[in-house]
Amino acid sequence: MKINFITDDEYLNHDTGPSHPENIERYKVVKSLLDNSYSNHNFIKPRAATIEELSLVHDKEYINHILNSIPLDGYFYFDPDTICSPNSLKSYLFAVGGSILAFEDILNNNYLKKNCSYFCAHRPPGHHAEISKSMGFGVFNNVAISAVNALKHPQVNKILIVDFDVHHGNGTQHFFENNPNVIYASSHQFPYYPGSGDLNETGCGNIFNCPLDANTSSKDFRLMFEMNIISKINDNFDLIYFSAGFDAHHKDPLASINLIDEDFYWVTDIVLNKFGGQVPVISVLEGGYDMEGLKNGLNNHLMALSEYIKNE
């Protein structure tokens, strides 16, 4: 089997300006890696999410606010970090719709109960987006919406979401913290933006946070991830999501965690070794703002996904 990549050049049209960390260059770096190293894999074009699909997670009043705030020219600031431009809306809708499409493709190909891999190369990221609030460069929570949609299927009873972005996925945690059918596990710099993700945030027993001090080394990251996430979760899952951010890389300018390229292979591999095997995997791009760190971290993540599907 091959990795199924869901992406589109539409993401070049979500203009945030050259000085914004979440800019068009991120997509260009990802596209170059996929074109040069993964061109023999499967590529699927995303589709736009519907209002009904956005409403699986977000308030309709908030959705309308997003839709009605797209400017005719220039930029509109949903908050100091989150910017849209005249052509941003389609990227927002493709990022959500593409994440849902990954699960639809699993169903269409009878991949439930199989170890297949999808990588959604979307922008902007979404794990900070709350039910009625934009945050952290994103307006809709791509992973949360896709996971809620997947839970509607009778064969999907338990989902694992692993978020290794350097910033805690507050939006994802808050949406699922009272849902025992979804386990959310996150490693992240703490205390740091957005301020959530402490060890004592456990939801209904389904939240597993792994807070990392500034300047955490590769070795200590691995020890803490095993201690706080891998050793504590013992469920079986029908579907695994990664919120795949690469801003814990030691070169990233927006954080202070010192992961090396190979750590992104390691974290993917250790999750799949324990919880994978006859389980589909959907990975969705989140952060990563140093271009070399993004490229090399993502490549290691994808190598682990490739190894996973060789076992099918």
| Environment class of 233 (CB within 10 Å of its CB; exposed 0-12, middle 13-18, buried 19+) | middle
CB neighbour list of residue 229: distance below 8 Å, 6 or more residues apart: 162, 185, 187, 208, 210
Selected catalytic residue, list 41, 58, 127, 128? 128
Q: Kindly report the three-state secondary structure assignment for every residue of the chain.
A: CCCEEECCHHHHHCCCCCCCCCCHHHHHHHHHHHHHHCCCCEEECCCCCCHHHHCCCCCHHHHHHHHHCCCCCCCEECCCCCEECCCHHHHHHHHHHHHHHHHHHHHHCCCCCCCCEEEECCCCCCCCCECCECECCECCCHHHHHHHHHHCCCCCCCEEEEECCCCCCHHHHHHHCCCCCEEEEEEEECCCCCCCCCCCCCCCCCEEEEEECCCCEHHHHHHHHHHHHHCCCCCCCCEEEEEECCCCECCCCCCCCEECHHHHHHHHHHHHHHHCCCCCEEEEECCCCCHHHHHHHHHHHHHHHHHHHHCC
User: Does 128 qualify as catalytic in the annotation?
Assistant: yes
Of 145, 33, 31, 24, residue with least CA distance to 91: 24
* Catalytic machinery residues: 128
